[in-house]
Amino acid sequence: MRDELITFLQQSLGPNGVLSNANDTERYCLDWAGARGAEPLAVARPASVDDVADVMRYCHQHDIPVVPQGGGSGLVEGALPDRHTPELVLSLERLNRIRALDAINFTISVDAGCVLQEVKDAALAEDCFFPLALGAQGSCQIGGNISTNAGGLNVLRYGMTRQLVLGLEVVLPDGRILSDMRPLHKNNTGYDLKQLFIGAEGTLGIVTGAVLKLCPQPANSRVALIGCPDVRAVMQLYGLARRSCCDLLTAFELIPRRCIELALEAAPTLRDPLDEPHPVYVLLEVAASGELDLDAMIETLFSQGMERQLLGDGVLASSEAQAAQLWQFREAMLEGQQRRGVHLRTDIALPISALDTFHHQAERLVAELSPDAEVIAYGHVGDGNLHFNVLPPTGLDDDDKLALLHDIEEQLFELVTEFDGSISAEHGIGRIKQSAFLASLSAPEYDIMRGLKRLLDPRGNLSAGRILPRSDGR
């Protein structure tokens, strides 16, 4: 089967369209978090939507499992080749054209393999703005962003990826092409089929193109870092910020002191941002496309926060360079965590008003299970997304660390359910969160999802075992 598949791919896609040597396919077996998949049957690198359709038609006819792959920045092992069933990796990296940009309609049409940063740059060149902002935007691809319904830093103002997609082109598991690339801001004709594939993690079809919504390029923006006494004060300050900053608030990030310390360790060129350390910090940004006095807006927020004893100190960036340095704390702290080795990484969503209470109860839960474990809880609290991460005690061996983190995760997810939250705010389900996800589904939810999978992928060969168990595709 493998030899015949490779021969077909070479004939169909050309010499640059297939990789079959283990040395060449190695990078497609790893993701950003360091997880490793098995060696694939091969890596197909189609250069057009028709190429993708040809590959999927062949694989459907010959019952060959396929997993689509974007930029490799996923965190739930959804795009890695399966360790038990050999799969063909279908990489979208050669589908990387900017198809069209309409600055009056505020839309851009792109191939799914376009790197997010390239899309943002193309929009900027026409004085437009694509607001999706992620730490991996220099490597992640639009198709992956759509397939995982990526969130990022600007959800508070602009919404998830789902809110930024106007049209979609998808190759179905049997090779048929479903295309609705109309750049319409309003369309109310029947079922909105594109929504089935946004967030489906490549289990229902392969996204090959999209029409994305653009916004006016902000003419000015301001970034501030504020020190607060506790999470309760942060959430009260958020309420003030939503009112005093109107609808111009684009980001409102919770950063505990420990994250600042991790950032300082990972990036020695950084300096402590405030004169005195604070238990928690807020990193916020406001932006406007018009000439508004954003400094006065933030100063008013500072004044209101001081009066209510919600903050102790803060700094307002006076230049783009200083603003970039404040944002660097948000990025460097992730590298600082990664250096600590194995740890629990969560991606939960909660009602914004419940964040403080949940944070308190979750910290207590971890302390009861392991007093020496270290909680690192940060996130995009302006949209209810909390990354409640846990570093295990350093004295444990790796097996004991994994066992402890598994127990903590199970009880943490139970607490999330009690708060009517979600175990995944933006990273998706993949394989890693499948058990917890299935346990949270009602019978009607499960039946509908299983029915959709069987309808669109009756042989169960596309991204099998991701989100739903492998058997549910057949």
Strand ranges inside 260-307, DSSP E? 280-288
The three-state secondary structure class of 167 is: strand
- CB contact burial 272-311 (16+ within 10 A = b; e otherwise): ebeeeebebbbbbbbbbeeeeebeebbbebbebbeeeebb
Q: Residue 98 and residue 425: Cα distance in Å, rounded?
A: 29
**How high is the pLDDT of residue 80?**
96
Domains and CATH numbers, the chain: 2-93+457-464 (3.30.43.10), 98-216 (3.30.465.10), 220-338 (3.30.70.2190), 348-418 (3.30.70.2740)
What length does the chain have? 474
Q: Residue 86 and residue 30: Cα distance in Å, rounded?
A: 16
The three-state secondary structure class of 41 is: coil
pLDDT > 90: what percent of the chain? Answer: 91
Q: Residue 260 and residue 370: Cα distance in Å, rounded?
A: 23
Cβ atoms of 392 and 401 within 8 Å: the answer is: yes
pTM equals 0.93
The three-state secondary structure class of 50 is: helix
Q: Are strands 313-316 and 249-256 parallel, antiparallel or unpaired?
A: unpaired
Each residue's pLDDT tens digit, 7-56: 999 999 998 999 999 999 999 999 877 889 999 999 999 999 999 999 99
Number of neighbours of residue 372 by Cβ within 10 angstroms? 11
**How high is the pLDDT of residue 291?**
82
Each residue's pLDDT tens digit, 160-185: 999 999 999 999 999 999 999 999 99
Distances (CA, A) of 151 to 163, 200, 380: 10, 14, 10
* 385: β partners: 349, 380
Please state the φ and ψ torsions of residue 242, each to the nearest 5 degrees.
-60, -30
* 115: β partners: 141
Q: Residue 82 and residue 67: Cα distance in Å, rounded?
A: 9
Q: Residue 238 and residue 227: Cα distance in Å, rounded?
A: 13
**How high is the pLDDT of residue 338?**
85
Each residue's pLDDT tens digit, 254-293: 999 999 999 999 999 999 999 999 999 999 999 998 888 9
Measured in whole angstroms, the distance separating CA 313 from the mean position of its chain's CA atoms is 31
CB-neighbour burial class of residue 34 (10 A; exposed 0-12, middle 13-18, buried 19+): exposed
Does the pLDDT at position 434 exceed 90? yes
Number of neighbours of residue 130 by Cβ within 10 angstroms? 25
**How high is the pLDDT of residue 471?**
72
Cβ atoms of 437 and 467 within 8 Å: the answer is: yes
Structure tokens, 426: 């933006």
Structure tokens, 3: 């030899």
Cβ atoms of 280 and 255 within 8 Å: the answer is: yes
**How high is the pLDDT of residue 472?**
61
DSSP codes, 322-341: HHHHHHHHHHHHHHHHHTT-
Q: Residue 239 and residue 353: Cα distance in Å, rounded?
A: 10
DSSP codes, 310-377: --SEEEE--SHHHHHHHHHHHHHHHHHHHTT-S-B--BEE--GGGHHHHHHHHHHHHHHH-TT-EEEE
Taking residues 82-92, what's their average pLDDT?
96
Does the pLDDT at position 246 exceed 90? no
Does the pLDDT at position 474 exceed 60? no
Q: How many CA atoms lie within 13 A of 330 on its CB side?
A: 27
